[in-house]
Chain A
């Protein structure tokens, strides 16, 4: 059974870069699935950030594309999110999840990690 777990700093200052890693267990990340990031904030609800395939092909939400980088490390069965130049608007609960397609439904989720941006 696939399990996902997010990790990374929970507190950032404005203009810093958010870096999160999702560790996948019980399932090979090198499979016919996509691996995505979603965030949840009180103001904007659930927002899909982007996804990556095991080949390294990436798909980003246009609203965040200029600041987002998603990468994969198949040797560690992990994928990562970087979001640059964060502001208070990026404060949210960040989830990693498995997707059936580049922008598909998400069938397995990590528990989420709270990231707060504050000076």
Chain B
């Protein structure tokens, strides 16, 4: 299985500032056939299910604010949250869906 490793495990960022979360995969999740990275990001607020934020590493799901952005390719990816708001307090997960079984990172807890 592809192992997804996120860093840091937790971070605290001031309101209005930028948060950056890293995700590394043990194998490349970039498809040579369509040049897409099979990498998704989720937000899980306390007591709620995960919510899809980004897929194909950088495509925002409908309704997701443009403060959320994704970058990276191959094995190294980044989730950036600009102008942090109180509602962004959550645990963030990356997921690879390139090689079955799909696997998730261990999560990064974001606090204010």
Binding site for B on A (CB under 8 A): 45-48, 59, 61-63, 95, 97, 101-112
Contacts and interface: CB of A to CB of B under 8 A. Distances in A.
Give the interface residue-count category, chain B.
10 to 19
Interface in B23-79: 40, 48-52, 55, 61
B61 A46 contact: no
B50 A102 contact: no
A112 B48 CA distance: 8
Contacts of B93: 45-46
A63 B101 contact: yes
A11 B62 CA distance: 37
Nearest to B55: A105
A61 B97 contact: no
A112 B102 contact: no
24 contacts: A45-B104, A45-B105, A46-B50, A46-B93, A46-B104, A46-B107, A48-B101, A48-B102, A95-B49, A95-B50, A97-B49, A101-B97, A102-B100, A103-B97, A103-B102, A104-B102, A105-B55, A105-B97, A107-B61, A109-B50, A109-B51, A110-B49, A111-B48, A111-B49
Contacts of B102: 48, 103-105
A63 B100 CA distance: 11
A45 B95 CA distance: 12
Contacts of A106: 50, 52, 95
Nearest to A107: B52
B80 interface: no
A60 to B, nearest CB: 8
Contacts of B104: 45-48
